């Protein structure tokens, strides 16, 4: 087993960051925190900040959610650079990347159903799913048809130098397994779309929720095999409830409703370890953002995975 260090810990020159919400529901406090953290870090570094709607997973997309999220961001006074990019209009880019990987033998067709994988492995992957045992690596079995395409991964330990969470280590083969890039239902996987889009949009500094930390090494591996640069990464703590569960639609996260005051933005900044004087409550949005950009310090963001906000 060899070791690999792939990413530098600080953003390079010409900072280009982004916020990439999935339109599976309205913006909730957890996604507001990711928006605030990525926005402030980009602007405090004199960088650009892009918005990308990640609707590549069509069955999970809720009609109207994308426009609702954009409206909410506008109401909070976020200003993004350039046009909003929408993944569902970029399927040809994901196709081209998959073909490149196919030509290089980096991916292989897989015929396994979920129950076949369950029968073949007792191991769990980092994200709680089943660790794919590599059954189709050497070719499809007799009479089997391809359902999905999987990325081959090496038995190697990768080291991610995260700007907030510090060093994370992951062995792709032992902890993740060969992962799906084109799903059995014909949908491109998030892992492929995010890597292609970040590179195509020249994003070089990623600030997002820590729930994606486990995905990062997969993304670094894809970047490497596609010959794409690896951005810097900063994974923010995520909002958890008192039971330690991530705030999401499943745990009844409520939509954030922007109001004229800055209460929610102040809460998001405090959640990220920044100290916010109460006078900021009533100032104009423009003044609030000017001040927030001037005081932002990523070093103050707690290097923990989940925080249950005080009520």
Contact 189, 182 (CB under 8 A): yes
Helix (H, G, I), strand (E, B) or coil at 144: coil
Q: How far is CA 41 from CA 37, 205, 206, in A?
A: 6, 9, 10
Contacts of 192 (CB under 8 A, 6+ apart): 94, 97, 98, 181, 182, 222
Number of C-alpha atoms within 13 angstroms, CB side, residue 128? 1
- Closer of 20 and 189 to ligand GLU (Cβ): 20
Binding-site residue total for ligand GLU (CB under 6 A)?
A: 7
Q: How far is CA 212 from CA 55, 77, 235, 254, 301, in A?
A: 16, 26, 8, 21, 17
CB of 237 to ligand GLU, least distance (A): 14
> Tokens in use for 172?
């792709």
Give the span between the Cα atoms of 31 and 16, in whole angstroms: 19
- Closer of 17 and 273 to ligand GLU (Cβ): 17
Q: Where are the alpha helices (DSSP H) in 51-170?
A: 65-75, 91-103, 114-120
Contacts of 301 (CB under 8 A, 6+ apart): 37, 164, 234, 236, 237, 272, 273
- Closer of 86 and 295 to ligand GLU (Cβ): 86
- Closer of 109 and 306 to ligand GLU (Cβ): 306
Helix (H, G, I), strand (E, B) or coil at 148: strand
Q: How far is CA 268 from CA 37, 131, 159, 166, in A?
A: 8, 35, 29, 22
CB of 189 to ligand GLU, least distance (A): 12
Kind and range of the H or E run holding 271: helix 263-271
Among 212, 253, 265, 266, binds ligand GLU (CB under 6 A): 212
CB of 115 to ligand GLU, least distance (A): 28
- Candidates 14-22, 157-165, 174-182, 255-263: pick the segment binding ligand GLU (CB under 6 A): 14-22
Q: Does 112 bind ligand GLU (CB under 6 A)?
A: no
Among 50, 70, 194, 217, binds ligand GLU (CB under 6 A): 194
User: Which residues between 16 and 35 bind ligand GLU (CB under 6 A)?
Assistant: 20-22
CB of 194 to ligand GLU, least distance (A): 5
- Closer of 102 and 241 to ligand GLU (Cβ): 241
Among 16, 28, 208, 235, binds ligand GLU (CB under 6 A): 208
Among 48, 54, 175, 197, binds ligand GLU (CB under 6 A): 54
- Candidates 15-23, 129-137, 224-232, 278-286: pick the segment binding ligand GLU (CB under 6 A): 15-23
Binding positions for ligand GLU, rule: CB under 6 A:
20-22, 54, 194, 208, 212
């Amino acid at each position: 087993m060899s070791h690999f260090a792939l990413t530098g810990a600080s953003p390079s020159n010409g900072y280009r960051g982004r916020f990439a919400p999935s339109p599976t529901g309205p913006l909730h406090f957890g996604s507001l925190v990711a928006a605030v953290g990525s926005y402030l870090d980009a602007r405090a570094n004199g960088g650009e900040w892009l918005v990308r709607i990640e609707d590549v997973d069509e069955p999970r997309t809720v009609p109207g959610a994308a426009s609702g999220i954009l409206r909410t961001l506008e109401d909070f006074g976020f200003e993004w650079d350039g046009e909003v990019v929408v993944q569902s209009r970029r399927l040809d880019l994901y196709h081209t990347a998959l073909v490149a990987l196919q030509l290089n033998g980096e991916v292989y067709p897989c015929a396994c159903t979920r129950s076949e994988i369950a029968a073949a492995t007792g191991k769990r992957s980092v994200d709680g799913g089943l660790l794919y045992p590599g059954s189709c690596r050497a070719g499809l079995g007799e009479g089997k048809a391809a359902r999905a395409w999987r990325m081959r991964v090496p038995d190697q330990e990768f080291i991610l130098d995260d700007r907030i969470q510090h060093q994370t280590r992951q062995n792709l083969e032992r902890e993740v397994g060969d992962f799906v890039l084109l799903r059995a239902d014909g949908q491109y996987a998030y892992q492929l779309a995010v890597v292609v889009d970040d590179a195509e949009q020249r994003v070089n500094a990623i600030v997002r929720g820590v729930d994606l930390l486990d995905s990062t090494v997969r993304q670094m591996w894809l970047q490497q095999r596609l010959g794409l640069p690896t951005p810097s990464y900063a994974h923010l703590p995520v909002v958890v409830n008192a039971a330690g569960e991530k705030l999401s639609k499943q745990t009844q996260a409520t939509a954030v409703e922007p109001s004229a005051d800055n209460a929610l933005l102040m809460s998001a900044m405090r959640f990220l370890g920044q100290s916010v004087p109460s006078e900021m409550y009533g100032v104009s949005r423009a003044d609030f953002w000017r001040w927030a950009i001037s005081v932002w310090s990523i070093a103050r963001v707690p290097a923990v995975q989940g925080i249950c906000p005080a009520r």
